[in-house]
Structure 1
Amino acid sequence: MRYSKFKPETYIPRIIDSQVQVLLDTFGGIELCGPRWSGKSWTAQSFGESVTRVDESEQIYMDDPQLALVGDTPHVIDEWQDIPAIWNIVRHRIDDSANKPGQFILTGSSTPPEDEKRHSGAGRIARLRMHTMSLAETGDSTGAVSLLGLFEDSFQPAQSHIDLTDLANIVCRGGWPALQTKKLADPRAVTDEYLNALFDVSMPRAGKSPLLSRRIAASLARNVATSATLGTVRDDIAAFDNIAPVDGTISSYLEEFRRNYFIEELSGWDAPIRSKSRLRTKPKRYFCDTSLVASLLGVDSSRLLKDGQLFGLLIESLCIHDLSVYVSALPKSYGGSLRYYADADGLEVDAIIELMDGRWAAIEIKMGESKVEDAAANLIRVARKVAANPAARNPKPSFMAVLLGKGTMARRRRSDGIYVIPIDTLGA
């Protein structure tokens, strides 16, 4: 890895680093986008030779956006979205240099509203989505079981080392880089400050009410890891205020949450690539970090251990979060590689990974070992359904796995070939 001299001393290497290196060698610019405080600026700085921090001198760059491009390359432009005009100027500079690779690294914590005057940047600026840290990055997972290895039929058993108390603490702490490099007396202060910045600053900038933003977010937290309808959210808000916003209003808030990378949606999957059910299945919603759910619901790790249902949903959220990080590093992955399965017969599978070459895998997520048999039965059912569908061109999964919050050992079952993998053994 070719880090620059500006790499922070306490920088923890990220899984995305290798992708940053490859894209810098290929494109004139790259954009690191994702939630605030997920580590975008430090990752960009670790590869950059100079930095412009737009949010520190916003008026200067508003008066003359060209000034944001001044510096040695690769030049980092941090929080470019505060001055959207910067994007086209960067794109023109790349064009003028005949697309010379490795010129700019842009970071963005939100996506500006669509503007017909802003070019997509296709072919000039590559986009990389960052997440908060996975367990493999924080050191809470050994990473002994490689997701890529599973697709390549390479696997070795591995011992789990965390218990439910550890898991509850991890869920409430989250994957914020600031909480990995130093001990804070109250880690929740980070999530509370994140939420305050979102609700009291970012949402009002977009013309949204801080109070309604909090109400909608609380409803989403209560319904995390589900495909809750707008009606469900509306009813939750009415229970607070006796006044229910219309669905269009709720949708506009959800869109702003997505633009700020606050929530993420997991789309439905069907084996035929042109299946209409891929578009018709309601997405499941997750937060960018599990700690935000705990904060919004006002629970700590001790309370979480007493609420098995909520704990189970947050373990699912944690597993989907980490799978998102690991899947994005797979050589043949694309933006929609991670999905979930649900059909009219009531059969559901928590995660489906589909690669560009047609290979796919099915993963069920459970809290502990007692649910492995049920999960394995679900996986076998979905594999048989896909195999029986004449429109499915790749009927056989590369692998099937049960991903556990708390398990004993990562292993492959002799009876059906299904892997059982504790989350603290999984990595990219």
Structure 2
Amino acid sequence: MEGYRHRIMDGLLAKKLQAKGAVLIEGPKWCGKTTTAEEIAASKVLLSRSDTKEHFKNLLQIDMDTALSGESPMLIDEWQTVPKLWDAVRYTVDHRRKMGQFILTGSAVPDKEAEEEREHSGTGRFAWLTMRPMSLFESGESNGSVSLAALFTAPEKILERNALKLQDIAFLICRGGWPMAVGLPEEVALEQAFDYYDAVTKEDITKVDGVKRASERVQRLMRAYARHQGTQVSIATLREDLKNNDTATLDDDTIISYLEALRKIFVVEDMPAWNPNLRSKTAIRTGDTRYFVDPSIATAALGIGPSDLVNDLNTMGFFFEAMCVRDLRVFAEALNGKVYHYRDKNGLECDAVVHLRNGQYGLIEIKLGGQSLINEGSVTLNALAAQIDTSRMKVPAFKMILTATGEYAYRRPEDGIYVVPIGCLKP
């Protein structure tokens, strides 16, 4: 497709299609799932169109083979709107005994009733991929001069130049990684996140399970969530925040149900806790850390823009952390890894741990920049590394401070910690 911006998902999808009969790509609306799938699909059915959906649904009931007879790989977009597709695709994959038959994309997890309609799991037939909004490397803002994969080999020296300034980072936080926003004039680009927020609160959150939810209640909850992203805030604290900032409040069960609906449409993606082997008996906090899938959702929920962030650097630090987490998740997926958060009962906290399937891991602190914050991050990283029981697990492959600003990416000679601006990082 002309003008297509290549995604990290491209290679992952091609690889999965070689190994499984069907691949399911999940992720939030507007993140580019369909566009990416169309780049490799030989035929497609777009069920987001109501007329197409009804025709396909009827055809599937009358003649399944004809409904699924498109050239392979066949893309079926928003598959979850026709739940019986799951078993039909599974049966067809079994019958044909070929890899790379189908690509299913979905911007919502099927509801409980739809799940119960399935006769079989997808084990052995399906592969799963999660797609997120664009990282800065994918959207072209990061120059990609420092590879996360290469850091796992512990290079003795790096020295790369960064072009992004604080004002650039503030804009990129608020614009988000929405493909349709990339390349647009700034004012227009910033509107995309507000449009997404409106769509979620006024329509999408009800469509996910058919439960009617008042948009103003969803908006209030998302504002509270935005104020606490990057923390392990409890449901009770969210409830109190709502009580303090709004005239009405929500009870715990309602908050839980709303958050579950937001997870089903991939608006929130919390980060699990990392549980390493430690030398001491320090208790590890196991609560998930709260994040939106893209930082622009939080800025839209709070109604703030780039200048607001630059004028409040403490707040900007939390939103910058959310953007870095988004990018690290995208990169880790390409490296067969996951991103975690560490915090113990003594208050020692590490913003991100990228843990690979092979057991390697890297410790990452996220800071806006400046020597004092870099020094603060290095103290944290060295303290955590010293607690890890290296007789029971590997030593950290690397320690890194991921920054918003700074002219260069480099390795500190005194402790080997990498200082890397986000404008230099790639998978």
TM over 0.5: yes
Secondary structure, aligned partner of 1:128: strand
Say if 1:265 and 1:284, in contact at 8 Å, map to a contact too: yes
Secondary structure, aligned partner of 2:377: helix
Other-structure match for 2:153: 152
Identify if the C-alpha distance between structure 1 residues 152 and 108 changes in structure 2 by more than 3 Å, giving closer, same or farther.
Answer: same
Other-structure match for 1:109: 107
Please state how far the C-alpha of 1:213 moved relative to its aligned partner. Answer: 1.4
Say if 1:268 and 1:278, in contact at 8 Å, map to a contact too: no
Unaligned runs of 5+ in 2: none
State TM-score, norm by structure 2: 0.92
- The alignment status of 1:63 with 2:58, answered yes or no, reads yes
Other-structure match for 1:427: 426
Other-structure match for 1:355: 356
CA deviation profile, 1:362-383 (whole Å, cap 9, x unmatched): 0000001231111101101001
- CA–CA separation in structure 1 for the residues paired with 2:105 and 2:135: 20
Please state how far the C-alpha of 1:310 moved relative to its aligned partner. Answer: 1.2
Say if 1:204 and 1:210, in contact at 8 Å, map to a contact too: no
Please state how far the C-alpha of 1:276 moved relative to its aligned partner. Answer: 12
Other-structure match for 1:368: 369
CA deviation profile, 1:122-161 (whole Å, cap 9, x unmatched): 2111111101100111111111111110112346321111
Identify if the C-alpha distance between structure 1 residues 276 and 250 changes in structure 2 by more than 3 Å, giving closer, same or farther.
Answer: farther
Say if 1:109 and 1:261, in contact at 8 Å, map to a contact too: yes
Please state how far the C-alpha of 1:345 moved relative to its aligned partner. Answer: 1.0
Q: Which amino acid aligns with 1:404?
A: T
- CA–CA separation in structure 2 for the residues paired with 1:44 and 1:183: 27
Please state how far the C-alpha of 1:182 moved relative to its aligned partner. Answer: 4.1
Say if 1:68 and 1:86, in contact at 8 Å, map to a contact too: no
Identify if the C-alpha distance between structure 1 residues 214 and 70 changes in structure 2 by more than 3 Å, giving closer, same or farther.
Answer: farther
- CA–CA separation in structure 2 for the residues paired with 1:381 and 1:241: 41
Q: Which amino acid aligns with 1:69?
A: L
Please state how far the C-alpha of 1:294 moved relative to its aligned partner. Answer: 1.1
Q: Which amino acid aligns with 1:248?
A: D
Say if 1:10 and 1:181, in contact at 8 Å, map to a contact too: no
CA deviation profile, 1:195-252 (whole Å, cap 9, x unmatched): 2222222222331332221111111011111111111211222235444322122111
Q: Which amino acid aligns with 2:53?
A: E
Aligned length: 412
Identity across aligned pairs (percent)? 35
CA deviation profile, 1:8-48 (whole Å, cap 9, x unmatched): 21110001111111111111110111110101011000000
Secondary structure, aligned partner of 2:6: coil
Say if 2:360 and 2:394, in contact at 8 Å, map to a contact too: no
- CA–CA separation in structure 2 for the residues paired with 1:239 and 1:396: 45
Unaligned runs of 5+ in 1: 1-7
Identify if the C-alpha distance between structure 1 residues 319 and 259 changes in structure 2 by more than 3 Å, giving closer, same or farther.
Answer: same
Q: Which amino acid aligns with 2:148?
A: L
Other-structure match for 2:41: 48
- CA–CA separation in structure 1 for the residues paired with 2:281 and 2:297: 33
Say if 2:205 and 2:265, in contact at 8 Å, map to a contact too: no
Secondary structure, aligned partner of 1:233: helix
Say if 1:174 and 1:291, in contact at 8 Å, map to a contact too: yes
- CA–CA separation in structure 2 for the residues paired with 1:185 and 1:414: 42
Say if 1:38 and 1:130, in contact at 8 Å, map to a contact too: yes
Say if 1:188 and 1:295, in contact at 8 Å, map to a contact too: no
Please state how far the C-alpha of 1:97 moved relative to its aligned partner. Answer: 1.2
Secondary structure, aligned partner of 1:37: coil
State TM-score, norm by structure 1: 0.92
- The alignment status of 1:168 with 2:176, answered yes or no, reads no
- CA–CA separation in structure 1 for the residues paired with 2:150 and 2:412: 17
